[in-house]
Structure 1
Amino acid sequence: MLGQRDQAVPESVKKVMQKPRVRERAPDWGRRRVMPGTPLLLCCYLAYLALGTSVFQALESSAAPDYEEASLQAKWALIHNYTCLDRAALEALIREIIREHKLGIIFPSNTTSMGRWELAGSFFFSVSTITTIGYGNLSPQTMGARLFCILFAFLGIPLNLVLLNRLGCLMLSWVQHWAHWLGGTQKDQTRARWFVGSCAFFSGLLLFFLLPPLLFTHMEGWSYEEGFYYSFITLSTVGFGDYVIGMNPDRRYPVWYKNVVSMWILFGMAWLALIINLVISLMESSTVLCPCSQRNPCRTWRSTGDIKPPTPKSTPGNSGGKPTRS
């Protein structure tokens, strides 16, 4: 009897009965899983910077006293060797002074700037390393610190890129959220997107480019134009090294100064990367700058060989099931 009942049930009904139930997900499940990871990633990033700061400080500060004494003796020996200068000797002296200044020797005082490898200086060097700014004003002198710098940058640069991408996505989600809320109240999504996008752009411009030069003018004695120039060269990771904070031996800098500038570099790079990606997308979608993308959008993302020809349509009434070209 049981065998006859099983045979009476159609196969299609059996497949439906045996099909496992799929759990329905909430519409915003992906968003809830992505955003809470940002504070954890930021904490890992800061912990990694703290590790690099402590190691660089331990390796370089231990060798600083011996190197400082040798540097001072080399400085006075260098000056005494050039008592009477011709043009070639003067150029050689200038090159030596520039090289010694990069190593931490201050002319014409009787001190050196080996204190740059203290806590704030080591932290700022760690930030400039993994953000690939690389001013060039400070570099490790011991072999152990150089080998650690290679490993630190090898793991820190990908971590920095992941964090910048996450912060950029977080900023973009905030902008989209406010645009959606404002568009719902004003019943105009397009105008709300333009308004919120403009506010985000100008607020970022004010926070990362227009206000920091005032701080640099006060702390470094630069002009406002020099501070603005330093802000863009730093956040764009160009890092020429002609302007670097905390390098004037005649000024006393507070401890929080370089730490605040390091956080400004991190969030400013994320905001600038978001703006640059927006400009790239606008340039790629422009018919004036790239008219080929409008005629064949697939060519901008795929090569010619990846584009498949369109498949011919088939009609139900065609004999033999052969397709007919439309």
Structure 2
Amino acid sequence: MCRAQGDAVAGRRWWRLPGTLLLLLAYVGYLLLGSAAFWALEGPAERHSAQQLLQDKWELLGNYTCLKGPALERLIQGIIKAYKSGLTLQGNSTSLGRWDFVGSFFFSISAITTIGYGNLSPSTEAATILTRTCALVTGLLLFLLLPPFLFSVIEGWTYEEGFYYSFVTLSTIGFGDYVIGMNPDLTYPSWYKNLVSVWILFGMAWLALVINLCITLLENSSDLCQCGKKKSKELGQELMDCNKNSSPRPDDVENCSSKDTKPEGAN
């Protein structure tokens, strides 16, 4: 009888597998359908914008023949970099305000909550060092090194056991061999589990922040390598251009543009 029940259970498990596989295929199909929809909707608009931008660039170079391609590329890259930093030209002045007190407070909130919108990031070396220090050193003390002392006092664990529980909990591994508030021989304070819940919430956010910081450092190192290659190529191009003629001044560009737009036969 037990054998028959075991065969029946095994048969039910066998029939569950196609259902799970069917759900997986439906999930993948849903993702592929969404990808195709966004590709069809956004792809043509992106290609049209790229073609329009390239056409505007060549029209500018055609109208102002004294401008050179590498010089224009450097100007465009400078404008893009300034725009990403929050600087925009408004007449003869630039707009500021990202790093006032309110903007700095917003950055602190987005960093602590690990939202990290990406539109605001420190650019100075001192600010990046401060961000790393707050994320690594302060978080390491608050979420990994100090909590084991609390667990040693309340739970009676050793420091190593408390550190092991802290790491396993924040990394979401959760083996279950160490769990707080489960010893029937101990009387726990009423605030204990609430405090640990808050610690878990902010500790997991801190760990996600550290992972995001590592990803950002890897991306920055990759950008530096690409920037170095690009600068070496531009330096070689500038050396070749210097052998031909010097770069035009702003006055020369104005004279050149007025000469190009001047009607024929005019003195």
By the TM > 0.5 criterion, same fold? no
Q: TM-score, normalised by structure 2?
A: 0.39
**Structure of greater relative contact order (alpha carbons < 8 Å, 6+ residues apart):** 2
Q: TM-score, normalised by structure 1?
A: 0.33
